[in-house]
Structure 1
Amino acid sequence: MLVWIGALGSLPGKDDLKAVENPLATEVYSTDSVLLGKYFIQERSNIRYEDLPKHLIDALISTEDVRFYNHGAVDSKSVVRVIVKTIMMQQESSGGGSTLTQQLAKNLYPRKDYWMFSMLINKFREMIVASRLENVYDKNAILTLYLNTVPFGDNTFGIEAAAQRFFSTHTKDLTVDQSAVLVGMLKSTYFYNPRVFPDRSLQRRNVVLGQMEKYGKLESAAAEKFRKKQVKLAYNKITHHTGLAPYFREYIRPVLRDWCKQHTKPNGEPYNLYTDGLKIYTTIDSRLQRYAEEAVAQQMTSLQKLFLDHWGKRDPWGKQTGLLDEAIRKSDRYQKLIEEGNTHEAAIKVMKTPILMSVLTYKGEQEVMMSPVDSIKHYLKFLQAGVLAMEPRRGAIRVWVGGINHHYFQYDHVRESTRRQIGSTFKPIVYAAALEQGVEPCDFVSAARIEYSNMNGWSPENTEDNYDLKYSLTGALAYSVNTVSVRVLEQAGIDNTIALARKMGIESELPAVPSIALGAANISMIEMVRAYACLVNNGKAVEPFYITAIADQQNKVLERFKPNVNTPQAMSADNARMMVHMLKHTINEGTASGMRGRYGINNDMAGKTGTTQSNADGWFMAMTPHLVVGAWVGADDPRIRFRSTALGQGARTALPIVATMFKKINANKELGYISRAHFASLSPELESRISCDLYRSDENIFERIFGNKNEEEAEQPRTFSTRSSRTPPRDRDRKKKNGFFRRLFGKG
């Protein structure tokens, strides 16, 4: 009686039971309606009665409650056994009296502690709640509710989540023997877990098949056939790290949490990202995302092997032992040991003790005996990658790859807070600023090397011995000539260049120094993609756009989002168009020509490679009419890198990722709008302004043979100016040439 009136705790009423809601994971979808992943506390997905296979229902009823459709909430024939064995004799393991409806009541309203009367009171509570459930729902609805709430082990709740976890399939597609395995787990989700105890699971599955045969739900021949089969799992370890675009999903998580706090359900409570089954529709294209992830995996597997072979038995940090010590002290294991009261020496001793652990290698996961210190060394040697692709007109993010493996490396190399030195990928902004100041694409600038007296004798160098040439702006971009870029920065003006970078979407700190022309600044991937998208968007700034809609669990749209296309004009449309066509030369014959020759990518494409000091960062930025892609490769710690530019340059590290991605895009006919797209032709007037040689000799025939009488004057230091000028630098800064034939024929 006390239980009935709620004296020992309130019981759900009719209205409460009608509004029964299970915690549902929020699902994140791509723009082409592919499930990318979920946010959840418990992995759960609800399913309709119509999607439950008959053999699954037969297996459940035959094993758990054979009189389910014939009794009420309580099976009177089992009550006596429950009272005698379970309640009076306190033999909890004997159980056996709970109907499916009573089990559902237990799933919905977990048992409480009532001291020595816990079993008795909880049983009566479940009987009462079960009776009320049967008054609200019909049998099929109860069966569906049960299968949507029952735990199956491995943190899965509900039959749909279990089908996907253990067999990588949907409930409606389960076979008879698979259904029997899952139903068999209900007796003890851990003891009969097929992943942990396959032999026990097989025995229990056969018991379920026997029950189905016993009650006429399965013919004997069929039952015997299924009993002979082995239990074959297609285990899908569903975590927050699995699925497509895990770094992107983590990036938008706080945005979605804030949205939930600011929006309420019909009952007045704020939405919960992890339990309310929201549906998030994003701008990610699952096909492009998959191609990018595959391209990263392919390139980084081979590059990681090359990197390890490159260093051999030596540590890539060399004598910089502080780097390793710093990594050890930052590790979770070390900090936990210190928090437990261990000294540094004691903590290190523990961390040098080998233990069995799962580690990531370039060949995949491996179980090894390794000390935590050795594992830190192991992971320090890993190269990372970041890829971002944006639609340049609306700013829709189509691809987001923040690293090589989200389970092992959560650090995202795409987001705004991750800034790396960008090298020559900044040069197009310098040249665009020069065009804005009136410099012409066909103005020729000397590549001669000079020193700047007001910069402590700073003298930029080129990667090639091309100091005796003059380059047009187009040619200097194509071949990434450092000395010319610094001169172009002089003409554009540092302040003007920084101002343009800001308008194009770069918010990171930009040092007002000449080396900014060579990419000395630290800028995030997302900012760089915005800047290049601005060029494709005819000089109009582009704002990133991630989410298109948020819907409830019934797929009723709660809010729609639109891109911000009312962005300011960062630079003139004509100059933006010329910059894109100038940067085509980088792909066709410049530093990124490997796209054509090595990889056979013939898309209409412009772009720029970038390599930073000591090869710490490799970049490649690619532009097509409908997709702007940025790729970066480097170690988490920039002190770890290739020793050779031939190996560490962006053309060898980052470019192959984009090339592989476009090979896959070009092979997909559905993506022809990307692969077959062409930039609009320039007007005759603009075409004439960029039509010129890429470079030419900086000397006449007599100077080649006899030398320049003004060479001494040319080698005098000069001061760096931040002024803007339409006049190219005077052709007086030349490097001495040695040898008659060198003077005569120059550099080929």
Structure 2
Amino acid sequence: MAKKVQKKQQQNFTPFIKWFWILFGTGVLGAVLVFLLASWGMFGEMPTFERLENPETNLATEFISSDGETLGKLYLDDNRTPVSYDELPQNLVDALVATEDARYYDHSGIDARGFIRALAYLGKRGGASTISQQLARQLFIGVRDKESTTNAILQKIQEWVIATRLERNYTKEEIISMYLNIYDFNYNADGIRSAARIYFGKEPHELRTEESAVLVGMLKNSSYYNPMRREELVFNRRNTVLGQMAKYDYITEQEKDSLQALEMKINFNPESHREGLATYFRMYMQRWLNNWVKENPKPDGENYNIYLDGLKVYTTVDSRMQKNAEEAVQEHMKNLQAEFFRQNTPKQNATAPFLDISRGAIDTIMERAMKASPRWRVLKREGLSEKDIEATFHKKTEMTVFDWNSDSYEKDTIMTPMDSIRYYKTFLRTSMMSMEPQTGHVKAWVGGIDYKHFQYDNVIQGARQAGSLFKPFVYAAAIDQLRYSPCFTLPDNQYSIEPGKHGNMEAWTPKNSVGEYSGENMTLKNALANSVNTITAQLIDRVGPGAVVALAKNMGIKKEIPAVPSIALGVADVSVYDMVGAFGTYANQGVYVKPVMVTRIEDKNGSVLYEYTPETKDVLSKEVAYAMVNLLEGVTLSGSGVRLRNDYNKNNAFYKRVITGYPYNFTNPIAGKTGTTQNQSDGWFMGMVPNLVTGVWVGGEDRSIHFRSITEGQGAAMALPIWGTYMKKNYANEEIGVSKDAFEVPEDMSINLDCTQQAEEEKIETEDDLDDLDF
């Protein structure tokens, strides 16, 4: 009887067991089918095997300094430079795993325990997305409509499928580095390397545990948990991450407590095309690269994309020297500008900032500037008439303008666009380039005072009259072709070159800057040191303007130079770029080396695409080149460059008020030359030590914008202080290796440089001649 009851009960349960297995099997087959459909792309496009092997991410072009630092990047939307797993600090990896996926090393893309927990608690105790799933979402899916439950489920299924594929194709370490490289941390911080640099001013491997915790905390939602917007919220999120690290034994409880007590220190370093280090240089490199990619296509014939293909451009610029150069420019120009404003108030100068020109001429300058402005070009393209466009220039509008007195060098104001044009013209401009003469490697490049507001690059785009800075070309031609020595003497008397000679249309009678003539014989060394115009006029008359022009061209001057005597005093326009290259010829024993900015270009895989070949030219003999160095050393020993040596202007109110870092008190050999043009419109200084040649120019955007007095407007006051400050900063860091040694003297030097000994010998010869006379 009992057996019959038991059998009957079994028969009663049989349908339930049968349906259980049917439903279970159907569920399994349905799940398999869903996953198959997802993998076949029925719920949305799925990545091919090739895409899994080569995920498509936009990579920025990176400019790398000669000392291994990133100067900046070129990108459109993604400021991304990937790093390998080996470049990640262990504390960052530990924080990521502890916070985002504690069982990361135990699953194959899907965390079943996490998924069941998320279902049971409806996500209140954490989600179930593994790091692999999050990477899948970032790389291949994106974000669907969150309000649609169906879409959310389909996205999760796709994530699971792609995550398992990623786990089959990549190691755990590769997945971590890919995830951190792909994530957008906001403020152009695309990927962990940009994030570390932008939020902490560091490379990823330099991150401390508490800093890594901040960045890992941002992975939850970088817009919401952003330290620049919600500091307290991010601080608490950081401490949550540190708590997770302690929970999973990556740090001790004691370490957690001490780290959570630390203040959150953000060192914000925004990276954009208009901000950061070497902005003018980077923008020059952008133009250079655009030309390079046109001439050097990929093997398949397509051009490289300088914003997306992750090129690495190894430059010659030294980040430490670049920083010193930019600081020197800012320190001096801020003070010099304050002095310029002090002397050019509307009360003192009714046409400020313009001097010595009519109001009609000023109107012409302003109209030309208006029509050259971006606003005019944009409105012109939109089809507005010139009359309507001009009307917009006289309507007040809100704008942000440059201001030396603000910590950010900006201020918000309301003015008309026309007034803003005049406002910007009140600012003095500058440019500076520093080069290693033996290699041509450009070590620093500053094209202006602030790229964001003054985008014209005065290093290579600008060209201004050189003034006395051009005189060394005349002296070099005379020494080279007439075999004069620095001790050769000429009289300091009024000197004229008659009409018709050397293509001169009229008689040319230059005056000395002081307007007087000593009447004494002067050595070339003394004449150049004191920039005596009459001596330079005699030299160009003897050697001929054509020879001077030919020499300047051989030394890298590209601008057209008229073959007339007046070029001796620097009436021709030259660029800082060309002048630095030319003066490098003297320091490099007569060999011109074309300035070099790029040594190598690599693609994102490290394959070398370009290596530079030096361009050199033998221009002067070693003896002539050293004779010129000797002449130029005289400028800093007894001429206009003596300010580098001692407290030459200790009682000068201008120097006390304006010149930073003065006196410089350099004791090492320095060759240099100042240059000042008519009306003090341009101030120059070129300074050389054996392994560094640096040129500086300062002036207004227009020649009519200048100091009234030569005391403030000469090259020794406007440009030389930037060089002095820059070199003091370089010498303060011995690792940079700027030389303090003497210039190398050629063997068998055939040109006499000892003017004292020559004078004594000439005196003895004269006395002997007198003794031989029969009175």
Quickly name the TM-score band, shorter chain normalised.
0.7 to 0.9
Amino acid in structure 1 at the alignment position of 2:85: Y
**Distance in structure 2 (CA, Å) of the matches to 1:509 and 1:645:** 28
Match of 2:551 in 1: 500
Q: Following TM superposition, by how much is the alpha carbon of 1:437 offset from its aligned partner in structure 2, in angstroms?
A: 4.1
Offset at 1:479? 1.6
Amino acid in structure 1 at the alignment position of 2:491: V
**1:485 corresponding residue in structure 2:** 536
Q: Tell which has more relative contact order, 1 or 2 (C-alpha 8 A, sep 6+).
A: 1
1:464 has 2:499 as partner = no
CA distance in 1, matches of 2:227, 2:470: 55
- Could you tell me which residue of structure 2 aligns to residue 305 of structure 1? 338
CA gap 1:594/1:220 in 2 versus in 1, 3 angstroms = closer
Report the equivalent of 1:331.
Answer: 373
Matched, 1:562 2:645: no
The answer (yes or no) to whether the contact 1:334–1:351 under 8 Å persists in 2 is: no
Provide the residue aligned with 1:196 in structure 2: 229
Shift of 1:246: 3.0
Deviation at 1:558, TM superposition (A): 4.5
Instruction: Give the aligned CA root-mean-square deviation in angstroms.
Output: 3.8
**Match of residue 425 from structure 1:** 469
1:383 equivalent in structure 2: 428
Residues 536, 153 of structure 1: CA spacing in aligned structure 2 closer, same or farther, 3 A cutoff?
closer
The amino acid of 1:396's aligned partner reads: H
SS of structure 2 residue aligned to 1:469 = coil
Rounded to whole Å, the distance in 2 between the matches of 1:369 and 1:295 is: 28
Aligned equivalent of 2:490: 444
> Relative to structure 1, is the Cα distance of residues 424 and 667 closer, same or farther in structure 2, using a 3 angstrom cutoff?
same
How many residues get paired?
687
Which residue of structure 2 lines up, in the alignment, with residue 99 of structure 1? 130
Q: Does 2:581 correspond to 1:530?
A: yes
Tell me which of 592, 608, 615 is aligned to 1:541: 592
Shift of 1:349: 5.5
Alignment of 1:554-593 (within 5 A): 555=606, 557-565=608-616, 567=617, 569-593=618-642
- TM-score w.r.t. structure 2 length? 0.79
Query: Secondary structure at 1:541's aligned position in 2?
Result: strand
Among 637, 645, 653, the alignment partner of 1:596 is: 645
Q: Which residue of 2 aligns with 1:733?
A: none
- TM-score, normalised via structure 1 length: 0.81
In structure 2, what is the equivalent of residue 551 of structure 1? 602
Q: 1:49, 1:39 → 2: CA distance?
A: 24
CA distance, structure 2, for counterparts of residue 119 and residue 518 of structure 1:
77
CA apart distance, 1:521: 0.5
Q: Following the alignment from structure 2 to structure 1, what is the Cα–Cα distance between the partners of residues 294 and 125? A: 46
Task: Decide whether aligned partners of structure 1 residues 57 and 501 sit closer, same or farther in structure 2, where only a CA change above 3 A counts.
Answer: closer
Q: In structure 2, how many angstroms separate the alpha carbons of the residues matched to 1:474 and 1:281?
A: 41
Distance 1:687 1:227 in 2: 73
The residue aligned with 1:721 is none
**One-letter identity of the residue aligned with 1:420:** R
Q: Which residue pairs with 2:445 in the alignment?
A: 400
2:772 maps to which residue? Answer: none
Q: CA deviation at 1:574?
A: 3.6
Aligned to 2:656: none
For residue 55 of structure 2, what is the aligned residue in structure 1? 20
* 1:611–1:619 CA contact under 8 A, matched in 2: yes
The residue number in structure 2 matching 1:46 is 82
Output the amino acid matched with 2:369: A
Distance 2:742 2:256 in 1: 58
Indicate the SS of the match to 1:327.
Answer: helix
Distance 1:354 1:573, change over 3 A: same
Secondary structure in 2 aligned to 1:394? coil
Displacement of 1:38 after TM fit? 2.8
Q: Deviations over 1:439-467 (max 9, x none)?
A: 63414134315585664565422211432
Q: Is the 8 A contact 1:394 1:564 kept in 2?
A: no
Structure 1 contact 577–682 (Cα < 8 Å) conserved: no
> Residues 161, 458 of structure 1: CA spacing in aligned structure 2 closer, same or farther, 3 A cutoff?
same
Q: Output the CA distance in 1 between the equivalents of 2:107 and 2:364.
A: 73
What is the CA-CA distance between 1:435 and the residue it aligns to?
3.2
Cα deviation for residue 600 of structure 1 reads: 2.0
- Post-superposition offset of 1:542: 2.8
Between 521-530 and 675-684, report the one with greater CA deviation: 675-684
Whichever residue aligns with residue 727 of structure 2, its letter is F
- Give the 3-state SS of the residue equivalent to 1:548 in structure 2: strand
Shift of 1:519: 0.6
The CA deviation string for residues 611-659 of structure 1, in whole angstroms up to 9 with x for no partner, is: 1121111111223332222111112333211111111111111111222
2:414 aligned residue: 370
Q: Is 228-237 or 117-126 further displaced after alignment?
A: 117-126
- Answer with 1-10 or 185-194: which moved more: 1-10
8 A Cα contact 1:449 1:467, kept in partner: no
Q: Distance in 2 between matches of 1:466 and 1:472?
A: 17
The alignment status of 1:674 with 2:739, answered yes or no, reads yes
Tell me, which stretches of 5 or more residues in structure 2 are unaligned?
1-35, 648-663, 763-775
Provide Cα deviations, 1:346-380, integer angstroms capped at 9, x if missing partner.
Answer: 76567643526363415542443333535433322
- Decide which of 712, 718, 721 is 1:653's aligned counterpart: 718
Partner Cα distance (2:603, 2:280) in 1: 23
2:431 alignment partner, SS class: strand
What amino acid maps onto 2:543 in structure 1? Answer: A
Are the equivalent residues in 1 in contact too, given 2:270–2:276 (CA < 8 A)? no
Segment drifting more, 334-343 vs 400-409 = 334-343
Query: Which residues in structure 2 correspond to 1:158-307 (within 5 Å)?
Result: 158-209=191-242, 211=244, 226-227=259-260, 229-260=262-293, 271-307=304-340
Question: Following the alignment from structure 1 to structure 2, what is the Cα–Cα distance between the partners of residues 98 and 535?
Answer: 66
**More displaced stretch, 590-599 vs 611-620:** 590-599
- Check whether the contact 2:213–2:238 (CA below 8 A) recurs between aligned residues: yes
Residues 1:5 and 2:5 are matched in the alignment: no
Give identity over the alignment, percent.
Answer: 38
User: Counterpart in 2 of 1:127?
Assistant: 160
Deviation at 1:128, TM superposition (A): 2.3
Does the CA contact (< 8 Å) of 1:163 and 1:170 recur in 2? yes
Q: Which residue of 2 aligns with 1:317?
A: 354
